[in-house]
A and B are shown apart, each in its own frame.
Chain A
């Protein structure tokens, strides 16, 4: 019996090791090469910060990075606010078409981005000029990202709201709290972990987004993923590794802090 368990444990451990290996080794190699002097990724490894210095002077890459950060942040705020409001409406109120609308949230997640990107491009070419806007540009990218992130936000916040203890709001009312006080002091803190998780999803959805950004970016305007793609096609230097390393370090830091703060998956 004990022997059997050991074999099972061995398989599980090997499996876990392999998963971690395939997930993290490429990232580690990528990060390591950002610190390697050779422009052609040649060994032996020689530590140097030359690519970070080059990056600091590469306006194209920095501009694209700045665009990505701004779009991702604005997208996070807009999608999180709208999505949380929608999730609240779905869980609290009965209205015509509620179930149909909830069902309609899911297909966009499964439709290939390529299809959505094409559809958006065609649609924006048709509608934006009517409003005096150019069909492509940062505004179009932002709108596309918000549309893409909304279902994720609504689903994540909705999951948190599904096990919201409703009686606590009634309890707050009996204790003399106005509806406003009840929302900010009782309901908001309880759903906050869900909202933060949803905001992270929204940020990641936008920041990683390539296909839609690529379709909706006019010449001369790029986001980071689009710029990285362009650079790779043109032949590239380890500057790409340098900026990727910075992004990974920042996003991992943010994830770890949030996870620690809200104890995802564990007791709250």
Chain B
């Protein structure tokens, strides 16, 4: 098991910074997700660790050693590419054996190592197939087996599940997690899919414009986003703007632009500060009737209701803003467009974020 660290990495393409002074430590054996929109620098960072990119500044350290000058083929990494990049002219066996055979390993040993890893990814019996004769999920497993068979120090995954349909993707997420645990390899993966990042990762970093916006375990980042970008990119968030009127102890009272007041964690606010609160849609309750708005309450009118099996998503017009609300369908109460409603939530669900 190995530890990877990037220090002060910067890469510019013309005026655009793909990486802007990024420093990050990947802990031994963890599954780390780099999450961000396209152009956020997540893939650039992954490719810098692989050695495909010459950084303008900064270092990539593998177990404390600067691997910057080491070419890709001597770095001892495993990588799974977005479209798998299987060798189309080779069988499954030859694909997986490739990394061992370029190392001049004896044929007998190659065979037992390949059979072992194909067992791990549950592909035994398909050794003689060509990549074209495999389903997307099977190709994914071959790519994974090929990357792992050389027992690399670190595994890099570039949008590994992006090419699969939803059902297969969910199945492969579970598989990927299992295999990564069994091998215990330090793994870094890139995704733009927030659900995938949350399901798979021990820790995630949300990237935007070449910088890391927030870093931590998925649950922490989800429940306590520190800024507007992190809150909006990982999951859905309603942003309530206002001005702090008073702070007492660890509670702040905030006058909301939409009307009424919110009580939120003080979070370093002082009276007179402007504030932005992020409220997750599933934390908000809906009651009938647009009665007066109290603390942590807003009244509005339903303008849309989307039923999706286990839950319903309401869009509620409050003044000039539309608030999203998820309701589990465990309550019999359903609202229709034009119904007046009151929204309410607890103080701890107001998360102060940087604007």
Contact = CB atoms under 8 A, between A and B. Distances in A.
B99 to A, nearest CB: 4
Interface string B179-218: 0000000000000000000000000000000000000000
A190 B98 CA distance: 15
B129 interface: no
Q: Is the interface of B mostly helix, strand, loop or mixed?
A: loop
B147 A174 contact: yes
B88 interface: yes
B138 interface: no
A168 B73 contact: no
B52 A170 contact: yes
B79 A171 contact: yes
A182 B85 CA distance: 13
Residue among A176, A181, A267 having the largest count of chain B Cβ atoms under 10 Å = A176
B83 interface: yes
A175 B150 CA distance: 7
B15 interface: no
Interface centre among A167, A170, A171, A177 (most CB of B within 10 A): A171
Interface string A147-175: 00000000000000000010110111111
Contacts of A3: none
A178 B73 contact: yes
Contact of A172 (B78, B83, B98, B150): B98
A175 B87 CA distance: 12
B85 A176 contact: no
A189 B89 contact: yes
Which one of A171, A174, A186, A189 has the highest number of Cβ atoms from chain B below 10 Å of its Cβ? Answer: A174
Contacts of B83: 165, 167
B50 A175 contact: no
A176 B152 CA distance: 10
B88 A268 contact: yes
A177 B146 CA distance: 13
Contacts of B89: 189-190, 268
Nearest to A173: B72
- Most chain B CB atoms below 10 A, which of A175, A179, A181: A175
Interface in B13-72: 50-52, 71-72
A177 B77 contact: no
B81 interface: yes
Contacts, number: 74
B186 to A, nearest CB: 15
A175 B88 contact: no
A176 B73 CA distance: 4
B85 A177 contact: no
Interface residues of B, number: 29
Interface string B82-99: 110111110000000011
Contact of B102 (A167, A170, A177, A189): A177
A185 B98 CA distance: 9
Nearest to A165: B85
B291 interface: no
A195 to B, nearest CB: 13
B333 interface: no
Contacts of A186: 87
Given A176-B103, A177-B73, A170 B146 contact: no
A181 B98 CA distance: 11
Contacts of A173: 51, 71-73
B85 A168 contact: yes
A171 B85 contact: yes
Nearest to B149: A175
Interface in A165-222: 165, 167-168, 170-179, 181-182, 185-186, 189-190
Nearest to B103: A176
B132 interface: yes
Contact of B81 (A170, A176, A182, A185): A170
B102 A181 contact: yes
Contact of A177 (B79, B81, B98, B132): B98
B102 A175 contact: yes
Nearest to B83: A167
A186 to B, nearest CB: 6
The 6 closest A-B pairs by CB, nearest first: A175-B99, A167-B85, A171-B85, A173-B72, A174-B79, A177-B102
